[in-house]
Amino acid sequence: MAPQKESDAGDPPGSSSRGAGCGADIADGLRHLGMRPDTDDSVFHEWSQALPGGMFDAFRSVVPAPDHLFFNGLTVGVLRGCFRALYPSDRALISCSLREALALSGMRRTRPYNVKSGRLNFLCMSEWSAVLSVARQCFRRALSRELVEVRGRETPFQVMLRILDMFTSLVCATYYTPRVYLDGGDACRGAPSAQSLQRDASAFMSFVDVSMRRRDFVPFLSSRDKPNLHRLREMFFFVVPHFLHVRHVRELFFESAHQPLKQAALSGSGHDDARRAMDRMLETECFSRIASAPEKFNVPSHYFDHPGIAKQLKESAGLWTGAGKDWRVAGDALAESLVPASALAVAVHHCPSGYRISWSTGATRGDAEYLRIGDAVSVLCTGAGVGIRMVPVAIPEHATEPGARTRFYRAVAFYGSSGGRVVALVHPFIQDGANAWQIEASRTFSLTLSRTVRRSLALHACEVDCRVVSAASIEHRSGGQWHVLGRASLYPAISG
pLDDT digits (tens, 9 = 90+) for 61-107: 546 678 888 888 889 989 998 998 888 888 988 999 999 999 888 88
Q: Long-range contacts for 294-303 (Cβ within 8 Å, ≥24 apart)?
A: none
Residue 404 neighbours by CB distance under 10 Å: 22
Q: Exposed/middle/buried for 435, CB within 10 Å: 0-12, 13-18, 19+? A: middle
CA proximity to 130, closest of 148, 104, 155: 104
d(CA 482, CA 459): 6
Report the C-alpha dihedral over residues 327, 328, 334, 336, rounded to 10 degrees.
Answer: 80
Phi, psi angles (nearest 5°) of residue 282 = -65, -40
- What are 178-225's pLDDT values in tens digits? 999 899 999 999 999 999 999 999 999 999 888 888 888 777 676 666
Cβ(73)–Cβ(3) under 8 Å? yes
What predicted TM-score, i.e. pTM, was given to this entire model? 0.76
What Cα–Cα distance (Å) separates residue 27 from each residue in 33, 42, 269? 10, 17, 24
Q: Which residues contact 415 (CB under 8 A, 6 or more apart)?
A: 329, 347, 357, 358, 359, 360, 422, 423, 425
- What are 448-477's pLDDT values in tens digits? 998 889 999 999 888 767 777 776 677 777
**What mean pLDDT comes out for the span 45-49?**
62
Q: Where are the domains of the chain?
A: 66-248, 253-315, 327-450
Q: What is the mean pLDDT of the chain?
A: 79
Phi, psi angles (nearest 5°) of residue 11 = -65, 135
Angle between helices 88-104 and 125-142 (to 10 degrees): 120
For domain 327-450, which CATH number applies: 2.30.30, 2.30.110, 3.40.50, 3.10.450? 2.30.30
Cβ(125)–Cβ(255) under 8 Å? yes
d(CA 205, CA 197): 12
d(CA 13, CA 112): 20
What's the pLDDT band for 170 if we cut at 50, 70, 90? Answer: very high
